[in-house]
Amino acid sequence: MYAKCGSLEKARHVFDRMPSRDIFTWNSMIAGLGIHGRGEEAIAFFERMLVAGVKPNAISFLGLLMGCSHQGLVDEGLKYFELMSSEFCVKPDVKHYGCIVDIYGRAGKLERALEFANNSPSNSNDPVLWRTLLSASKIHKNVEMGEIAFENLVGMSAHNAGDCALLADIYSNVGDSNGVSRMRKMVKDHGIKTAPGWSWIEVCGDVRKFVVGDTSHPDAKVIYKKLKEMIGRAASVGLLEEDSCKFSKEENGRECHSEMLAIAYGLMRTPEGTSLRIVKNLRVCKECHLMTKMVSKAYSREIIVRDRVRFHHFKDGSCSCKDFCIWDDIVVEEFEVKCPRQWRSAKYAILGLEGGHFKRMQAQDRCLETRKNTNPSGGV
Residue 284, φ and ψ in degrees, nearest 5: -70, 130
Please report, for residues 5, 127, 243, 341, 361, the alpha-carbon distance to residue 368 in angstroms, rounded to integers and kept in the order given. Answer: 42, 46, 20, 6, 11
Residues in Cβ contact with 280 at an 8 Å cutoff, skipping those fewer than 6 apart: 197, 198, 199, 258, 259, 305, 306, 307, 308
Cα separation, 98 vs 66, in Å, equals 9
50 contacts: CB under 8 Å, gap ≥ 6: 56
Structural domain spans, the chain: 2-190, 198-330
Q: Cα–Cα–Cα angle for 99, 100, 104, nearest 5°? A: 120
Structure confidence at residue 361 (pLDDT):
42
* Residue 1 pLDDT: 64
pLDDT of 255: 59
Q: What is the pLDDT of residue 210?
A: 92
Residue 120 identity:
S
Distance CA 109, CA 105 (A): 6
- What is the structure's pLDDT at 338? 35
Q: Cα angle at 201 between 195 and 206, to 5 degrees?
A: 125
pLDDT of 44: 95
Which residue stretches of the chain have pLDDT < 70? 1-6, 122-124, 238-255, 324-380
Beta-strand relationship, 198-203 and 318-319: unpaired
Helix axes of 161-173 and 143-155: crossing angle, nearest 10 degrees? 160
Residue 312: φ, ψ to 5°: -120, 125
| pLDDT attached to residue 6 | 65
Q: Given 1.25.40.10, 1.20.1090.10, 1.10.443.10, 3.40.190.10, which CATH number is that of 2-190?
A: 1.25.40.10
What pLDDT score was predicted for residue 82? 94
